[in-house]
Amino acid sequence: MSYDQKVPPLSTEKLNFYKPQRLIPYSSTPGFIQDFNFPTRPLKYLDTLNRRYGDCFLIGGKKSPLVCLSNPKAIEAVFTADPELFDVASGHEYLQFILRENSILRHDGASHKRIRKLLTPAYQSMYHQYTYGQLIYDVTRQLTAQWRVGQPFLVNSSMREISLQVILRILFGLDEVERLNQFQSQFMAMINSVDFAIDSFDFWSYIPESLGQKIRQKMGVLSPWEQFSEQLQKTDQLILDEIQERRKQGNVHGKDVLTLLMSIRDDVGQTIMTEQELRDALMDIIVGAQALPLSLTWVLYWIHHSPEIHYKLRCELESIGELFNPQKICQLPYFNAICQESFRIYPVNNIFLRKLKAPLEIMGHHFEAGTILMPCEYLTHRREDLYPEPNCFKPERFLERKFSRYEYFPFGGGHRSCMGMLFVKTQIKLVIATILSHFQLAIINRDPVRPIHRGLFSLGSPSDLWMVCN
């Protein structure tokens, strides 16, 4: 049977999770090969299946079959359906090694609504450019001051350092240099360890479990997962120590996110969030913020990849005057279009899984309870009927028309859209504007930057980008 032949769906005795009224195409490639292809070269694999099977197809082997959807009408059907139809939390099982018990991603229904309601004020404060705009500027200036004319630097690392320090100061305050360095060192160790552990996952997943256990026992503390577990425990304890110290001192007057969360009271004046809930909420924000350096790297790349785009953006930034003005920067139309186009081409997280708890019909397909749906932003964002020349970077497309929330959804959609969306957009614009106002940069890569499989946010991670100050 050829690789691209359309065949009837697998027997429901083998895959008892959907009963289609219309046939859904899927690859005849053996399941274990599909299970290897998707995590190791996800974007190329999605492109291949999309070309052969269209905008609705099965992906993965028998162990983890998904229904991939990229038609805007199908996306709308998923995003506007009753939230009670879905078990979204189980779709994040692949992240449970880092998500804590009270993580919002591990909850559905009433508990999810409660956590989201508690966290909303914190996220609103984070993206308020008046509150943290100057902090973002100061951190960016301080860390980019290390750049030297004519000396190449790795953009990915610089953006990670800037993003981490910004988020730590927003979450914890941390005005003392010694305390900030302690937090930054520990969180960087934890982030590096989780990236290392995930990058090794593909190797371990294709070794028989019995053999894998023997190898891990021999490796002991050298095992990537053991190293990550140790760093995660240290990070947990660091956060809990900070919470306990603040409660002991009664410090509830700061402007940081932790202070805001600790100040939330119920109707009788009692603290609502436990120490574990506070820790888990902060960890959620920090884990989510790891998308920032990836997005910053892509935006810097696209700006400097095209001299015309670079020139237009500099002219727009100069039009607001010499003083750093967060509000005006965030309202610049061409700058906003550049960011939107960067999110379109390589969204950081291309997968939003939703497991059905009850039957649902989508565009003629009847899916039974247990079906796992995957609205795929990467493929939707590359539909030629929506985005002509989809592989080309063209910010103007976002100035010429407005796309619906089912045609463009880099931060998810429906009742599970990303709470940190506005913060991500704000920080990217302010960091990039600060850099461009003080430096003339040039790309010096020998090889083109490309999306690679790397770490926690792996599908659209940029390969190493080297630049130099001129």
| Structure-block tokens of residue 323 | 């003083």
Is the pLDDT assigned to residue 10 strictly greater than 70?
A: no
- Bigger pLDDT: 312 or 17? 312
Helix 421-436 to helix 307-318 angle, to the nearest 10 degrees?
Answer: 90
pLDDT at 379 over 50: yes
**Domains of the chain, earliest start first:** 31-173+254-469 (1.10.630.10)
| Model confidence pLDDT, tens digit, residues 248-302 | 887 666 788 999 888 887 665 667 888 999 999 999 888 888 889 999 999 999 9
Check pLDDT > 50 for residue 228: yes
Between these two residues, 347 and 410, which has the higher pLDDT value? 410
Give CA angle at 146 (140, 152), nearest 5°: 110
Q: Which residue type, as a one-letter code, is found at position 404?
A: S
- What is the pLDDT at residue 4? 38
d(CA 126, CA 104): 17
Name the residue type at position 77: A
Task: Name the residue among 17, 106, 107 with its Cα closest to residue 63.
Answer: 17
Please report, rounded to a whole number, the percentage of residues in the chain having pLDDT higher than 70. 81
Question: Which of the 8 DSSP states describes residue 9?
Answer: P
**What are 68-115's pLDDT values in tens digits?**
999 999 999 999 999 999 988 877 766 666 777 888 888 888 888 888
